[in-house]
Structure 1
Amino acid sequence: MDQGDRDWWRNGIFYQIYPRSFGDSDGDGVGDLRGIIARLPYLTRLGVDAVWLSPIFPSPMADFGYDISDYTGIDPLFGTMEDFDDLVAAAHDAGLKLILDLVPNHTSDQHPWFTEAKSSRENPKRDWYIWRDPAPDGGVPNNWLSEFGGSAWAYDEASSQYYYHAFLAQQPDLNWRNRDVRQAIYDVMRFWLAKGVDGFRVDVIWHLIKDADFRDNPPNPHYREGRPPHEKILTQYSTDQPEVHAVITEMRHVTEEFDNRVLIGEVYLPLHRLVAYYGNDLSGAQMPFNFALLSTLWSARSVETIIADYEKALPSGAWPNWVLGNHDRPRVASRVGPAQAPVAAMLLLTLRGTPTLYYGDEIGMRQVPIAPDQVRDPFERNVPGIGVGRDGCRTPMQWSAEPNAGFSSARPWLPLAHDFARDNVASLEADGASILNLYKAMIALRRGLPQLVHGSYEPVAAQGDVLLYRRRSAEGVAVVALNFGAQPATITSSAIGFSNEVLLSTLMDRQGEKIEGALDLRANEGVILGPHQED
């Protein structure tokens, strides 16, 4: 099935949708597939190229879809398989690619595979999961911890063994050393690829293989009180094992059975370990997600260092990617502040590599405070009081000032931001200087300026709160200047290197301005200059 350029993912812009929160078509307060279909015209106006959906498969929703009970179905909460087929067709008709979330590390404890595995030690599916006898003292097999609190081992009284769960006890980990497990998941991939999906984002891909000897993890010498308790130990033996790369290569081979598909890996690891997940034409993931910007200190020098380290660490031929927000981390507008959110947007859309936007970031959605009686996130429920809850970044998309922000005719499953009547798509589309129209302008500029798509990245020395770099291609040079500070800054003409004009300012008011000498940046302003055609 030929759906265009093989390297489309290098040139495109990805947009993550959390399906529960994007558009509700049936009035139950929860988003669904028909709600997404209805909003595809908005995505085409925005200018993105690919849509990535968080899980939509049948699930008891212990972790809101990341606990799958049927890999080849659609949860009725989101609609039907016919709705999904219509979504694929509508997305492709609109020129959009569609990416699904693949969750192969664990299933729901209500998946038929686990029901069989739990039925007896002799069941053929027993080895599809990870079972261990108790320790000599009758306790857990080792010191591995669940990311959602407590031990990662749950005791099954019927069989007198423990099973491993890296997350909730309702999410038992699959045994990826078992060939039958691998083939079953590969068949799942083929099922969806045959339906026309354009690739997968693979959840916690670095977790898939565990240490064969189940050795205790070492303590984390840098653990700080107030951090999630699972961080007390390093995951030396429970994640990022060398054998995982052979598994990812097999996954890549499955996607290569179909034309022009992409394999993206979720990998929360330091850069020097992250880059090992890159592959080539026949191995690895095309894009292991780079989350470095999600947790860095928001300063020009800190971001400059991250970019330099990433560019230096990339293997030959590897394609970079950048992320500023997702369904697990606080909203970027809350992390960096509303004044810096436009600067963050310009950074994301002008760095070398593929950018991924998180729904609502383009309208400046902020983290919504969640009252204790409204918490839905199992992470926050299991580990309360230290701010690990993810509900605040998963609240409904703010479409209009209408009741429930135009998201639903019913009360939404999570509370809305108090300012949705002001900060919503309808009002911001009507405001020429809004962050939404800035995103649209930057995406359009990126599409029309080859330097910003495939040009090289060249850092330029700058001082204080200014981050400065060039994007150079055969078509010429563009300059990006970002002021991370709340005070004006001046960049000398020698730093810029040549005469330019302002192609775009984050304040949306300088387009066409000629820069013959120094460039004056206002507080919290970013500009794109050029293009300059070299001799």
Structure 2
Amino acid sequence: MVEQLTTASSLARLVPVHEPPAGREWWRSSVIYQIYPRSFRDLRGDGVGDLPGITAEIPALAELDIDAIWLSPFYRSPQKDAGYDVADYCSVDPLFGTLEDFDALVAEASRHNIRIIVDLVPNHCSDQHPLFQKALASPAGSPERDLFIFRDGTGDHGQNPPNNWQSHFGGPAWTRITEPDGTPGQWYLHLFDTSQPDFNWDSPAVHAEFEKILRFWLDRGVGGFRVDVAHALIKKSGLPDWGGRADGSSSEGFPGSDAPMFGQPGIHDIFRSWRKILDSYDGDRVLCAEATIDPIERLSDWVRPDEMHQTFNFAYLHHPWHAPALRHVIESSLHAFDRVGAPTTWVLSNHDVVRHASRFGLTGAGPRTGDGLGPQDEQPDLDLGLARARAATMLMLALPGGVYLYQGEELGLPDHTMIPDEFRQDPTFHRTAGVRVGRDGNRVPLPWKANLPSYGFSSTGESWLPQPPIWGRHSRDIEQRNPDSTLNLYRRALDLRRELDLGNGSLAWWPEHDDDGLVAFVNGGVLVAMNMGDAPVQLPDLPRLMGSSPDALEGARLRPNRTVWMRLG
């Protein structure tokens, strides 16, 4: 079987499960790099990353051959949830700089043909937002309160929440207010922290407010929006009780499709109206949904031709280190998104999950979604995790569709699993009294120079979260000089991805084989193979384009936890 793949006639017999897209828009094959601003680069010396720090490092990011940068929130905010509690959507928090700094960032990125995508948070705002403060000061039933989800409580005196919904961060999803006259009042909904009241998207005034926000940033030249919690805007009429998971994911007896706070049909009309706004601007602006929707076939409804351009593929993000499961999620994703003419996106890390260099080094199931690893948890095997992370990245970068990278993964960074409790800032940690450790471990400031304080992150050596001692060996200056580093692996793979146009390619599985540890496919003229098993696997004797490590192959045998790209023909 392996010898047959070396001939053109045998390649013709491979059955594609995905064909190249008809359209050639940039977002169909894009590489988008996520920046968590407070942890990227600090030029002002206060220990918190800032917009000028990002602007200064645009040339370094351009070396990765990315198409766009997605910025996590930088708006004015009390920072109770790292900026996802927005107090003013049309501003820059002084913590990060000014609007002029933002304009300079857009201009510098544009000079390197990089777009800037901003994080839109439409489900909720900060309780310090002027609109919510007006709602608190206004009577029940007023237009001001109608912008949010206020309800009377249950029980003889309204002392119980309106329903049993739970917050993503732990505890009830409702908080009772004290009315201006000092009496106990209504309850407001917050699917996240108490400081993050949910908007009422049944109100036309909320629609008008966010259309104004979209135009504000589009007029400043942004390339589009990543839409936070894009599946949660509309709640089911009557707000019925829900016995399933707080995040709406499916559990036994409670399919996610029934969750009354997620995935309601009216959401799609909102995105259709936003798509029209973006389409009225030049430059092919994009919308990407963060939508935790299963199954994958249902998620594709978010990217129908008149709605979003992309949506995150969480099924892929959470795939286990198991070849049959990975093959299934790749094929089912391609089929689902091909059905609506949209690109599939692939992602392995972001600011909400354990970095894949740590996740793949665990022998157990690892933490639940939205949690990190702490000192009391199983500690990852860092060498195993990095080997698997490099292999998984190479496989991902060879897949057709769009790719999302999270800052620092190109350095092979693991999570910081030993952060002392006194430094933790994630609201999940505090709302659960430390039972859930939270996500701070994947948000630690980046290492730039090995021999400087804070590894060059800050001009003064300050750092808003402590960095682990191993950061030195992952510093960018060290990795730049090592030809076999993870950074240089990313550079070579991204260059080849662009040169071979793999993002706009096809996919056909390598013909049936006996080894369930192998994931192998053909995209264009490239055979891509990853060994997720415990023993070497025989491959065709073909020219090697690159491997996830210098020792990926033993002759024509692929070692475990390695990936190789080979040229066919």
TM-score (ref. length: structure 1): 0.90
Do the aligned partners of 1:304 and 1:467 also contact (CA within 8 Å) in 2?
A: yes
Determine which of 350, 355, 358 is the counterpart of 1:334: 358
For residue 549 of structure 2, what is the aligned residue in structure 1?
A: 507
Q: Cα distance 1:221–1:170, how it changes in 2: closer, same or farther (>3 A)?
A: closer
Rounded to whole Å, the distance in 2 between the matches of 1:415 and 1:222 is 29
Rounded to whole Å, the distance in 2 between the matches of 1:222 and 1:64 is 19
Instruction: Please report how far the alpha carbon of residue 339 of structure 1 lies from its aligned counterpart in structure 2 after TM superposition.
Output: 1.6
Instruction: Please report how far the alpha carbon of residue 110 of structure 1 lies from its aligned counterpart in structure 2 after TM superposition.
Output: 0.5
Instruction: Please report how far the alpha carbon of residue 417 of structure 1 lies from its aligned counterpart in structure 2 after TM superposition.
Output: 2.2
* 3-state SS of paired residue (2:471): coil
What is the CA deviation profile of residues 384-411 of structure 1, one whole-angstrom value per residue up to 9, with x for unaligned ones?
4444410000001111112101101232
Rounded to whole Å, the distance in 2 between the matches of 1:507 and 1:457 is 24
Q: 5 Å matches for 1:91-170?
A: 91-121=109-139, 123-137=142-156, 138=158, 139-158=160-179, 160-170=185-195
For residue 524 of structure 1, what is the aligned residue in structure 2?
A: 561
For residue 432 of structure 1, what is the aligned residue in structure 2?
A: 483
For residue 17 of structure 2, what is the aligned residue in structure 1?
A: none
Instruction: Please report how far the alpha carbon of residue 255 of structure 1 lies from its aligned counterpart in structure 2 after TM superposition.
Output: 1.2
* 3-state SS of paired residue (1:481): strand
What is the CA deviation profile of residues 486-506 of structure 1, one whole-angstrom value per residue up to 9, with x for unaligned ones?
432213x4xxxxx63111111
Q: Cα distance 1:235–1:60, how it changes in 2: closer, same or farther (>3 A)?
A: farther
* 3-state SS of paired residue (2:225): strand
Do the aligned partners of 2:303 and 2:340 also contact (CA within 8 Å) in 1?
A: no
Pairing 1:464–2:516 present? yes
Q: Cα distance 1:192–1:221, how it changes in 2: closer, same or farther (>3 A)?
A: closer
**Structure 1: tracts of 5 or more residues without a match:** 494-498
Rounded to whole Å, the distance in 1 between the matches of 2:504 and 2:24 is 15
Q: Which moved more, 1:298-307 or 1:59-68?
A: 298-307
Instruction: Please report how far the alpha carbon of residue 312 of structure 1 lies from its aligned counterpart in structure 2 after TM superposition.
Output: 2.3
Q: Cα distance 1:250–1:233, how it changes in 2: closer, same or farther (>3 A)?
A: closer
Q: Cα distance 1:244–1:328, how it changes in 2: closer, same or farther (>3 A)?
A: same
Do the aligned partners of 1:438 and 1:508 also contact (CA within 8 Å) in 2?
A: no
Q: Cα distance 1:223–1:78, how it changes in 2: closer, same or farther (>3 A)?
A: closer
Instruction: Please report how far the alpha carbon of residue 235 of structure 1 lies from its aligned counterpart in structure 2 after TM superposition.
Output: 6.7
For residue 35 of structure 2, what is the aligned residue in structure 1?
A: 17
Instruction: Please report how far the alpha carbon of residue 77 of structure 1 lies from its aligned counterpart in structure 2 after TM superposition.
Output: 0.3
Do the aligned partners of 1:218 and 1:233 also contact (CA within 8 Å) in 2?
A: no
* 3-state SS of paired residue (1:114): helix
Rounded to whole Å, the distance in 1 between the matches of 2:216 and 2:151 is 32
Instruction: Please report how far the alpha carbon of residue 467 of structure 1 lies from its aligned counterpart in structure 2 after TM superposition.
Output: 0.7
Q: Cα distance 1:86–1:70, how it changes in 2: closer, same or farther (>3 A)?
A: same
Query: How many correspondences in the alignment?
Result: 506
* Amino acid of the structure 1 residue aligned with 2:327: E
Do the aligned partners of 2:497 and 2:503 also contact (CA within 8 Å) in 1?
A: yes
Instruction: Please report how far the alpha carbon of residue 223 of structure 1 lies from its aligned counterpart in structure 2 after TM superposition.
Output: 12
Q: Cα distance 1:125–1:221, how it changes in 2: closer, same or farther (>3 A)?
A: closer
For residue 348 of structure 2, what is the aligned residue in structure 1?
A: 324
* Amino acid of the structure 1 residue aligned with 2:498: R
Rounded to whole Å, the distance in 2 between the matches of 1:426 and 1:235 is 50
Determine which of 427, 437, 456 is the counterpart of 1:378: 427
What is the CA deviation profile of residues 258-303 of structure 1, one whole-angstrom value per residue up to 9, with x for unaligned ones?
12100000011211321111120xx211101112233221121221
For residue 251 of structure 1, what is the aligned residue in structure 2?
A: 274
Identity %: 40
Rounded to whole Å, the distance in 1 between the matches of 2:390 and 2:543 is 20
Rounded to whole Å, the distance in 2 between the matches of 1:345 and 1:415 is 27
Pairing 1:351–2:388 present? no
Pairing 1:487–2:535 present? yes
* Amino acid of the structure 1 residue aligned with 2:476: V
Rounded to whole Å, the distance in 2 between the matches of 1:116 and 1:47 is 46
Q: 5 Å matches for 1:65-84?
A: 65-84=83-102
Q: 5 Å matches for 1:270-309?
A: 270=294, 271-280=296-305, 283-309=306-332
What is the CA deviation profile of residues 337-378 of structure 1, one whole-angstrom value per residue up to 9, with x for unaligned ones?
112111011022011110000000011100102211111111
Do the aligned partners of 1:457 and 1:469 also contact (CA within 8 Å) in 2?
A: yes
Provide the alpha-carbon RMSD of the alignment.
2.4
Instruction: Please report how far the alpha carbon of residue 529 of structure 1 lies from its aligned counterpart in structure 2 after TM superposition.
Output: 1.1
Rounded to whole Å, the distance in 2 between the matches of 1:258 and 1:358 is 28
Do the aligned partners of 1:294 and 1:329 also contact (CA within 8 Å) in 2?
A: no
Do the aligned partners of 2:167 and 2:246 also contact (CA within 8 Å) in 1?
A: no
For residue 313 of structure 1, what is the aligned residue in structure 2?
A: 336
* Amino acid of the structure 1 residue aligned with 2:441: G
* Amino acid of the structure 1 residue aligned with 2:136: K
* Amino acid of the structure 1 residue aligned with 2:266: E
Do the aligned partners of 2:248 and 2:262 also contact (CA within 8 Å) in 1?
A: no
Choose between structure 1 and 2 for higher RCO, CA contacts under 8 A separated by at least 6 residues: 2
* Amino acid of the structure 2 residue aligned with 1:298: W
Q: Cα distance 1:180–1:12, how it changes in 2: closer, same or farther (>3 A)?
A: same
Instruction: Please report how far the alpha carbon of residue 157 of structure 1 lies from its aligned counterpart in structure 2 after TM superposition.
Output: 2.1
Instruction: Please report how far the alpha carbon of residue 123 of structure 1 lies from its aligned counterpart in structure 2 after TM superposition.
Output: 4.2
TM-score (ref. length: structure 2): 0.85
Q: Which moved more, 1:265-274 or 1:482-491?
A: 482-491
Q: Which moved more, 1:15-24 or 1:382-391?
A: 382-391
Determine which of 440, 446, 449 is the counterpart of 1:397: 446
What is the CA deviation profile of residues 146-197 of structure 1, one whole-angstrom value per residue up to 9, with x for unaligned ones?
1111111110120711111110111000011111111110110000001000
Instruction: Please report how far the alpha carbon of residue 126 of structure 1 lies from its aligned counterpart in structure 2 after TM superposition.
Output: 1.5
Pairing 1:446–2:489 present? no
For residue 496 of structure 1, what is the aligned residue in structure 2?
A: none
Rounded to whole Å, the distance in 1 between the matches of 2:401 and 2:389 is 20
Do the aligned partners of 1:218 and 1:234 also contact (CA within 8 Å) in 2?
A: no
For residue 199 of structure 1, what is the aligned residue in structure 2?
A: 224
Rounded to whole Å, the distance in 1 between the matches of 2:246 and 2:191 is 21
Q: Cα distance 1:403–1:435, how it changes in 2: closer, same or farther (>3 A)?
A: same
* Amino acid of the structure 2 residue aligned with 1:519: A
Rounded to whole Å, the distance in 2 between the matches of 1:503 and 1:15 is 24
Instruction: Please report how far the alpha carbon of residue 464 of structure 1 lies from its aligned counterpart in structure 2 after TM superposition.
Output: 2.9
Q: 5 Å matches for 1:216-235?
A: 216-219=241-244
* 3-state SS of paired residue (1:298): coil
Q: Cα distance 1:219–1:340, how it changes in 2: closer, same or farther (>3 A)?
A: closer
Instruction: Please report how far the alpha carbon of residue 524 of structure 1 lies from its aligned counterpart in structure 2 after TM superposition.
Output: 2.1
Q: Cα distance 1:456–1:386, how it changes in 2: closer, same or farther (>3 A)?
A: farther
Do the aligned partners of 2:76 and 2:93 also contact (CA within 8 Å) in 1?
A: yes
What is the CA deviation profile of residues 407-464 of structure 1, one whole-angstrom value per residue up to 9, with x for unaligned ones?
01232001112211111111011000111111000000011102x1211111223423
For residue 73 of structure 2, what is the aligned residue in structure 1?
A: 55
* 3-state SS of paired residue (1:338): helix
Rounded to whole Å, the distance in 1 between the matches of 2:247 and 2:447 is 39
* 3-state SS of paired residue (1:438): helix
Do the aligned partners of 1:217 and 1:234 also contact (CA within 8 Å) in 2?
A: no
Rounded to whole Å, the distance in 1 between the matches of 2:245 and 2:102 is 44
Rounded to whole Å, the distance in 2 between the matches of 1:466 and 1:302 is 11
* Amino acid of the structure 2 residue aligned with 1:521: L
Pairing 1:455–2:505 present? yes
